[in-house]
Structure 1
Amino acid sequence: MKKIFFYSIVLIANFLFAQNTNTSAEKSFNSLWYVKAAKQFQAQVERGDDSQEALQKVGDAYYFNTDMKNAVKWYGQLFSNYEQVLAPTYIFRYIHALKGVGNYGMAKLLTKRYEEVLKEAEYDISTIESNKDQLEKLLKMQPQFYVSNLSINTKLADFGAAYYQNQIVFASSRDTMNLHTRIYKWNEQPYLNLFTADTISSGLDLKNVTAFSKTINSKYHEAIVAFSPDGKTMYFTRNNYTNKDLKRDDDGTNHLKLYKSKLVDNAWSTPIELPFNDLNYSVGQPALSPDGKKLYFVSDMPGSIGSTDIFVVDILADDTYGNPKNLGPTINTSGREMFPYVTEGKFYFSSDGHIGLGGLDVFESLQNESFSKPINLGKPLNSNLDDFAYVVNEQTQQGYFSSNRKGGKGDDDIYSFQRIEVPCTQSVFGQVTSQENNRPLSYSMVTIEDKSGKVLAETTSDNLGEYYFDLNLPCEQIFLIKASKEGFENSESQFKTSIEPNFINEVPVGLKKLNPLIVREGGLLKIKIGMIYFDFDKHNIRYDASIELNKIVFLMKEYPNMIIKIESHTDSRGNDAYNERLSDRRAKATRDYIISNGIAANRIESAIGYGEKQLVNECNNSSECSNEKHNVNRRSEFIILRLE
């Protein structure tokens, strides 16, 4: 059913059924009998027919039957002979086949060479290259699964485990004495039916395989089932088959449909199809939300982004359905998204459109009001072939998935897994730049703090403004990056680490250039204006002083969160107590002037006169100094306590 769903849903329908020749090989190919067609076209090529069409057909026949080793062989010969005239479709397929046999180097080389061609053909390059760095990181990802092949697997297709009461329901091509054996020509195996198996208490293996239900199983394909929380309703995928006939569209394609059955008197009722099925596209692979109110499914219906997309529909109280909605580009790509599975807060699916190891890979996304960026679950759960139909008990972190990987017992096999907790550690890097022109700011001070404000580390940016913290940060935690540089306002950026182990978080920081009036002296930020003069023994603001103080007013309006304090000082000439009282009156007069010009009083923390207590040179009461030296101590200071 996996392969059926891949290719019977109009992915290649127009191409397949547009052919109208009479050769035996083409008849097999057009009938989707790919095992037979591959042998026939291969024999044709080996007899000397190395035409472009023959090489394409033999490569396609193996590719559509997921025999990537032979697909690479024949696509490789196709490239050697006809590289200059190949359609983008064959470039794309060859790249995927190369990844399917683990030849990632060649896949990346071809992607780079044909990047523009593939983009023009609207293939999403990011899904097969973007990120060679991401792929290399994925290959080095620490394993977080133990996987095991089940004893119930056969040499034929076994896949798609679903939880049902204390059993597992799955699809299989195995022959049984209870069913009349009919061969599906695509892969020369019996048609798929649903089976049940008992779990073994000592582990995750299964036993006692029996046919699921004569009412549900038909002479055509049934696979991928989902049960309602109460176990009384089931949804499953089947060929468009009713009243003993297969129904086809105008091109002759028999699509897939979703069906529903209810448990009545301990028996499953005659299946009925869902209202959003259609003769012209496929709908299948159901999954239910934990509360049973949403049905997820896979389709190539109008509104799809790629070859197959995942959709969701509301199950309404009166046993009707809302309108199907595409899950959108966070989940769906230009490739294939399939086999959804939903738990409380998490969404699992398989895809060959996101960065992966080849074929279908299993991905995990956090689901709240929206979906988080999908995370590839890595080896050994994923391989260079197809890995899909992931189901899990989140409490035990045990479950099942299906794969056609090398080393299995047959076609598709069911595997059990135990997910292990892997320490989730990450690093962070970024660039410090000027907000005015986006130029890098070298030698900026950069610190990282946890959410409590504890400084974890500090560094300086390099000559390109870049910084890096390799601290093994825990996943899904909040941190703060702070940056500072002389002549610029301090800045900070909060970020949350990803759910992905070994992820490198990028946190850029932009610094705004300080107003020229703001300077740093003695470790303090100050507002530097001209001298403020007062008449002898007076504290009223003169006109020349108001010109300078207006600069303070304008600056504080430019920085609406700025908080300052005012300090006034005198020289040592005169009585100490008198000087202190006079400077204090002048400080408060300065404060009142600023407030009177529209600055809130709470933005000036204090206005204090210190007289001659804080001289900046040696000119104290016992020293003889020139007027110039004494005048240095006569000053008003505006100290910035808060800038942001």
Structure 2
Amino acid sequence: MIHKLIKISIFSQHYSTLFSLVVVLLIAGCLNAQNERPWHKHGYKSLEEGDFYGAAYYFSKALENDSSNLEVLWSLAESYRLNGDYDKALGAYHALLERDRESTYVLSSFYVGEMNQYLSRYQKAIEFFNLFEEQPRANETGKLKISAQRRKSCEYALMNRHTTDSLSIKNAGYGINSFDAEYGPVFIEDSTMFITSARYDSNTTKLIKEKEFQFKTILYSIDFRSEPFSIRQEQVSIEPLSYVSSVSNPDSRNEYYITICKSNVCGIFRISRIEDGWSEPEDLGAFFNNADFNTLHPSVGRIGAKEYLFFASDRKERNGMDIWYSEIKTDGQLTRPRSAGSSINSIEDEVTPFYDSENERLYFSSKWHEGFGGYDVFFVEGSPGNFGQPINAGRPLNSSVNDLYFSHNPSVSMGSIVSNRTGGYALKGENCCNDVYLIEYPDSVKIEMDTVPDLAIEQSDDLVKKLDGLKMLPLSLYFANNLPNPGSLSSTTSANFADLTREYYKSQEEYLGHNRETGWVDVFFNKEVQFGVEALHQLCDSLLIYLSKGYVFHLGIKGYTSPLGNTSYNEKLAQRRIASIENFIRNWNSGKLGNFLDSGKLNVVPTPYGEFFSEGKINDQWEERTKSIYSYDAAKSRKVEIVWVSQINPDYKGPVLVLENDAFDLGGPEIGSIVELKIPIANVGDSTLAIDGITSSHPGFHMVEPITVKPGESLNVTVQFIVSEYADIQVFGIVLHNNSSIENVPVFLKLKKEP
């Protein structure tokens, strides 16, 4: 049996967990290098480079040639797991477990348990952790203690999954987040946050023949004082192919501590703000920069009159990543680092510390202590040398996957966290990449899941800003499977969303029958569905106030479906769902908004996405209804969203851009071909609209020529791009830059390879 030991720095290319550590993959092989087929070679090469998405593609192709090859099946499962594609990883490990009659791949049952844990299937996870621990060779894997601790975590999660704190956690949105990975958010001042983003040059799989490093990390500062907030790229002087993260600074000096990684080793440096940017990074010496270990995630905390630098490191004194600290003397010198202690540090990794000086709590993330799955956020009370026992920070701060980089700013009652939880911006797997999430605390929360805010407003206020400030957009409104008008090929309906929702509520018991192991059904129906209905009533009430005073509104409403059914049917279904929302608005409060719809003062701008975003992510098999109809992901995909509201004040004379469609399915164009796309737009304002440029997350895009659109006219924006390598199903975006009240308008494109 041949084994390959592959070291992968998570800081290198994928950022699944976003800190430097060594992942050991034992790939059992019975083929020597000379006899491996090309798909195998490409798969191993991708694993070595940290391109787990590409590795999964190559190993799946290899399995098509030889479905009995257990080595390839193991490698495929590992690739899915490391890419955050937990559902597919579960299927691959499960298949391996059933086929591996000789029990060669002992860890299969452990990872089946772990994938179930990540998917919140805690009872199933416990069963497979038990199965793993009963195997005679389990002790040889080094996972026996970890498996036992995972079982305890699943038991903890089952007892506490319905307990949530009154926090509001929202994805920070596109702009702060991208389709790659963001990490290291920290509030430096009352209104400024630093984040680091790992941006690929394209959203395509990294090709084997490419020799240059394809991604770069960029440090951004975000000023929340502006409306909307402004983002600026910070220029820090570092060597090529190295990257910066985790900025932190003491209150008393103009000094910032940063992580800089190069050659797969990370260390902590100190920099200062200067007139034209940043000073050269200052090396802090062998305790903090050493080729033998990683030192990263700096966070400064004040405890009484002293300041401390907390950080994570895998130095030789202990195994794995642990939390350490060093006192910052008044002259800026750092004392010899000390471990935060055995109550915090474990046989697994503890990372991303943050010290809350106001409450004297040290926060950190760990896989070891009892939690909900992946890395959870914990805190300990006390101070260095006198820390208590870890306490799980609870839900909704923690999820069943990775939750890292917790920090908060008490002066603005706001915090942040990084997570790969479901619902983020991801193109290469639902949980592949980390996004920044913003946290609002109870004294500042304006919207809770089951409480609709009061939108009572004066004429001088701006409703759009009010909605944004209350985090009411996008407003999600959920539908039962295949409703309204199941089987119809019509794009219209007389159904009213209010009636559809009442019927939807009656199906809760049916959903519970398919989801005994999870507690999402009650939360989904009685909070998310209920909130949407109540918020829609409140929005209509507010629109009536403004419309009665001469304002004009456009509502951007998007319709979605699960991937059940064919594409054409799903597009019609999405149109009917949008129409049911328009019927609700028209008939609301005995028809008080109907005249405004008829007169053009209130306008619905529909975009029927259908299965545009759900295809390839959600089960589409009728015979597997527990997954395709009654699962949480399927229920969340059947919705309409009021995504944007455009308000034209009575005295506004500027242009107003309206997209007739903002989602385009381009099919499966050949690589190297040139695709031309025409995006129809309309100007419903009173002055000339100018489209002066585009940006895109995909390389090779350009606008053929800038255009101007006169009031009342409709024209096409013509965009061309050269098709490069893309995934089987891939969605990416472009942004239209214009001079209207909404300066940056996104458009989504989908490519899908032919089977």
Same fold (TM > 0.5): yes
Separation in 2, partners of 1:259, 1:20: 44
Q: Give the aligned residue type for 1:322.
A: T
Tell me the equivalent position of 2:279. Answer: 269
- Deviation of 1:116 (Å): 5.6
What's the secondary structure of 1:278's corresponding residue?
Answer: coil
Contact 2:367–2:376 at 8 Å: present in 1 too? yes
Shift of 1:316: 3.8
Q: Residue 124 of structure 1 aligns to a residue in which SS?
A: helix
Distance 1:282 1:15 in 2: 23
Match for residue 324 of structure 1 among 337, 349, 359: 337
Q: 1:69-88, aligned counterparts within 5 Å?
A: 69-82=87-100, 85-86=103-104
**Alpha-carbon displacement from aligned partner over 1:373-425 (angstroms, at most 9, x marks no partner):** 2222222221122111111123554211111111122332111112338xxxx
Matched, 1:304 2:318: yes
Q: C-alpha displacement at 1:11, in angstroms?
A: 2.3
Q: CA deviation at 1:87?
A: 5.4
**Aligned 8 A contact 1:226 1:235 in 2:** yes
Q: Aligned partners of 1:266 and 1:293: how far apart in 2?
A: 28
The Cα offsets for residues 64-101 of structure 1, whole Å up to 9 and x where unpaired, read as 22222222121122222227524555544433222112
Partners of 2:375 and 2:412 in 1: CA distance: 25
Matched residue SS, 2:373: coil
| SS, match of residue 106 in structure 1 | helix
Residue in structure 2 matching 1:138, options 154, 160, 163: 160
Report Cα offsets for 1:587-627 as digits up to 9, x if no partner.
Answer: xxxxxxxxxxxxxxxxxxxxxxxxxxxxxxxxxxxxxxxxx
The answer to whether the Cα contact below 8 Å between 1:21 and 1:27 also exists between their aligned partners in 2 is: no
Aligned counterparts of 2:153 and 2:17: Cα–Cα separation in 1: 25
AA aligned opposite 2:440: Q
Q: Could you give the per-residue CA deviations for residues 27-81 of structure 1, whole angstroms, max 9, x where no partner exists?
A: 2212222221111112112322433321221111222222222221211222222
Give the superposition deviation at 1:171.
0.8
Distance 1:381-1:326 versus aligned 2 partners, 3 A rule: same
2: CA distance, partners of 1:402 / 1:7:
9
Matched, 1:198 2:223: yes
2:269 match: 259
Match of 1:361 in 2: 376
CA–CA distance in structure 2, aligned partners of residues 131 and 108 of structure 1: 9
Aligned-pair CA distance for 1:341: 0.6
1:286 and 2:298 are equivalent in the alignment: yes
Distance 2:32 2:361 in 1: 47
Q: Secondary structure at the match of 2:372?
A: coil
Aligned residues: 402
C-alpha spacing 1:405/1:7, structure 2 compared with 1 (3 Å): closer
| Alignment check: 8 A CA contact 1:387 1:403 kept | yes
SS of alignment partner, residue 130 of structure 1: helix
Match of 2:367 in 1: 352
- For 2:102 and 2:237, locate their aligned partners in 1 and report how far apart those are by CA, in whole Å: 54
> Counterpart amino acid of 1:354?
H
- Matches of 1:183 and 1:270 in 2, distance apart? 34
| 1:518-557 pair list within 5 angstroms | none
Contact 1:8 / 1:255 at 8 angstroms: preserved in 2? Answer: no
The equivalent position to 1:98 in structure 2, one of 107, 116, 128, is 116
- Deviation at residue 327 of structure 1 after TM alignment: 1.9
Structure 1 position 193, deviation (Å): 1.5
User: How far is the alpha carbon of 1:103 from its aligned partner?
Assistant: 1.8
Contact kept in structure 1, 2:125 and 2:154, CA below 8 Å: no
Q: Which residue of 1 aligns with 2:454?
A: none
Q: Distance in 2 between matches of 1:8 and 1:20?
A: 33
The Cα RMSD (Å) is 3.6
Q: Do structure 1's residue 52 and structure 2's residue 62 form an aligned pair? A: no
8 A Cα contact 2:219 2:233, kept in partner: yes
Contact 1:17 1:30 in 2 (8 A): no
Amino acid at match of 1:285: H
Contact kept, 8 Å, 2:183 with 2:418, in 1: the verdict is: yes
User: Cα deviations across residues 89-125 of structure 1 (Å, max 9, x unaligned)?
Assistant: 5544433222112221211111223336656735334
The answer to whether 1:11 aligns with 2:33 is no
Q: Which residue of 1 is the match for residue 685 of structure 2?
A: none
Residue 308 of structure 1, CA deviation = 1.9
Q: Tell me the amino acid that sits aligned with residue 337 of structure 2.
A: P
Tell me what 2:59 maps to.
Answer: 41
Give 3-state SS (helix, strand or coil) of 2:379's partner: strand
Q: Is the 8 A contact 1:225 1:236 kept in 2?
A: yes
Distance change in 2, residues 1:301/1:132 (3 Å) = same
1:176-220, Cα deviation, whole Å (9 max, x unpaired): 99xxxx99999x973222111111479xxx721111124258543
After superposition, the Cα gap between the structure-2 partners of 1:70 and 1:176, relative to the gap in structure 1 and judged at 3 Å, is closer
Q: Secondary structure at the match of 1:11?
A: coil
CA contact (8 A) 1:304 1:326 kept: no
Given that 1:156 and 1:189 are in contact with CA atoms closer than 8 Å, whether structure 2 keeps it comes out as no
- 2:398 is aligned with 1:382: yes
TM-aligned CA distance change 1:83 to 1:98, over 3 Å: farther
- Residue 64 of structure 1 aligns with which residue? 82
Task: Name the counterpart of 1:157.
Answer: 181
Aligned to 2:351: 338
**Following the alignment from structure 1 to structure 2, what is the Cα–Cα distance between the partners of residues 284 and 320?**
18
Question: Among 440, 460, 463, which residue is 1:418 paired with?
Answer: 440
**Structure 1 length-normalised TM:** 0.56
Q: Which residue of 1 aligns with 2:229?
A: 207
Question: Which residue of structure 2 aligns with residue 497 of structure 1?
Answer: none
* TM-superposed deviation, 1:140: 2.4
One-letter amino acid of the counterpart of residue 66, structure 2: G
- Which SS does the other structure have where 1:329 is aligned? coil
Alpha-carbon distance, 1:342 to partner: 0.6
Rounded to whole Å, the distance in 1 between the matches of 2:328 and 2:148 is 35
User: Are 2:154 and 2:372, in contact at CA under 8 Å, matched by a contact in 1?
Assistant: no
Structure of larger gyration radius: 1
1:123-169 residue CA offsets vs partner (Å, 9 max, x unmatched): 33453123654222221213331111113322221222111233110
Provide the C-alpha distance between the structure 2 equivalents of 1:281 and 1:111, rounded to a whole number of angstroms. 32
Question: What amino acid is the match of 1:357?
Answer: F
Q: Which moved more, 1:46-55 or 1:61-70?
A: 46-55
- 1:337 is displaced (CA, Å) by 1.4
Residue 7 of structure 1: CA displacement? Answer: 8.4
Sequence identity percentage: 22
Q: Is the 8 A contact 1:193 1:218 kept in 2?
A: no
CA distance in 2, matches of 1:59, 1:360: 20
Which secondary structure state, in structure 2, belongs to the residue aligned with residue 191 of structure 1? strand
Cα–Cα, structure 1 residues 14 and 48, in superposed 2: closer, same or farther, change >3 Å?
A: closer
- Cα distance in 2 for partners of 1:271, 1:68 equals 39
Q: Give distance in 2, aligned partners of 1:174 and 1:288.
A: 27
Instruction: Give deviations 1:454-482, integer Å, cap 9, x for gaps.
Output: xxxxxxxxxxxxxxxxxxxxxxxxxxxxx
Cα drift, residue 350 of structure 1: 1.2
SS at match of 1:36: helix
Does residue 168 (structure 1) correspond to residue 193 (structure 2)? The answer is yes
Q: Secondary structure at the match of 2:145?
A: coil
TM-score relative to the length of structure 2: 0.48
Map of 2:386 onto structure 1: 370
Report if the CA contact (8 A) 2:362-2:381 is conserved.
yes
Structure 1 unaligned spans of 5+: 241-246, 248-253, 422-644
Q: What letter matches 2:47 in structure 1?
A: F
Distance 1:218 1:381, change over 3 A: farther
Residues 140 and 199 of structure 1: CA distance in aligned 2, closer, same or farther (over 3 Å): same
User: 1:335 aligns to what SS in structure 2?
Assistant: coil
- Where do 1:404-483 residues align within 5 Å? 404-410=420-426, 411-420=433-442
Q: What is the alpha-carbon distance in structure 2 between the residues aligned to residue 214 and residue 183 of structure 1?
A: 29
State how far apart, in whole Å, the 1-side matches of 2:308 and 2:222 are. Answer: 27
Match of 1:314 in 2: 327
